[in-house]
Amino acid sequence: MRGVKTGLKKRVYHAVGKAIHEWGMIHENDRILVGLSGGMDSQVMLNILSGLQKKAPIAFDILPVYIDAGFEGSFAKELKHYVEMAYGGLKIDYKDYGVLAHSSENRENPCFLCSRLRRKRLFEIAQETHCKKIALGHNKDDIIETLFINMCYAGKIGTMKPMQSFFNGDLDIIRPLSYVEKKDIVRFGQLNDLPEFKNNCPSANKTKRSEIRGLLETLYKHNKHIKGNLFRSMHNVAVDYLLEVKHDRHSKST
């Protein structure tokens, strides 16, 4: 078991280190807001960033933040106790975003509205706490799924990037787990006894993402190379072979 744990740790840390290096995610004296959800992805991300903070050749600070969406059965107190014991502190922001998103007042997709409101609040907290970067726990599988969600439901080709800048570069979103597969994250969390708090959102597992995830898992079962090929394809776009509109095709000559 020790050999399995050591091998997995090396693989995960290598993937995280590669993403951080290739995208220039962390620099000297950075103050990084770490967005927690209670799920295993963000728990592993916090664990790894905390580990890197202790041994990295550069100094940087992390600020764990959890936005409680207002659902019944909140695990905020339990999460706060764990994070404070393991890492030193957690900022909790209590909101009613989830309740509002699932109310009759909302005509949009509940997940879209709740996600947008929480993201906006994270931006505000980052500014209030002088954090130039926000770390989110999206992983390799999430990036592939987002590509398919956009193609199937938005009619466009695009996904989440490992690092994205906002407000003319004043704020960056970084995704340190971008090169790590979900199965490795789950196993890493289990082997390191990291707690996972149950998602208390009524729309959990009833989203477009869960539908796309099921479709992709079926493909992965038939060919072990498909996931890697899909991920590499986003770095290898044959632009000349994509459809494009010739706006001047029917323009009149003058």
Confidence label for 200 from pLDDT (cuts 50, 70 and 90) = confident
**Which is more confidently placed, 203 or 34?**
34
Domain count for the chain, please give it. Answer: 1
CA distance 149 to 117: 20
- Over residues 149-197, the pLDDT tens digits come to 999 999 999 999 999 999 999 999 999 999 999 999 999 999 999 999 9
Kindly state whether residue 249 falls inside one of the protein's structural domains: no
Neighbours of 10 (CB within 10 A): 10
Angle at CA 250, nearest 5°, toward 247 and 254? 105
Confidence label for 109 from pLDDT (cuts 50, 70 and 90) = confident
Nearest to residue 48, comparing CAs of 22, 79, 18? 18
Region 21-45 average pLDDT? 97
Kindly state whether residue 182 falls inside one of the protein's structural domains: yes
Neighbours of 124 (CB within 10 A): 11
Kindly state whether residue 29 falls inside one of the protein's structural domains: yes
- Over residues 57-108, the pLDDT tens digits come to 999 999 999 999 999 889 999 999 999 999 999 999 999 999 898 998 887 7
Contact 64, 34 (CB under 8 A): yes
CA distance 124 to 70: 18
Query: What pLDDT score does 164 carry?
Result: 97
CATH label of the domain that carries residue 19 = 3.40.50.620
The DSSP code sequence of 50-65 is: HHHHHH-SS-EEEEEE
- Over residues 119-155, the pLDDT tens digits come to 999 999 999 999 999 999 999 999 999 999 999 999 9
Q: What sign results for the dihedral spanned by CA atoms 189, 193, 194, 199?
A: positive
The pTM of the full predicted model, rounded to 2 decimals, is: 0.91
Kindly state whether residue 247 falls inside one of the protein's structural domains: no
| Average pLDDT score, the chain | 92
Enclosing domain of residue 122: 2-241
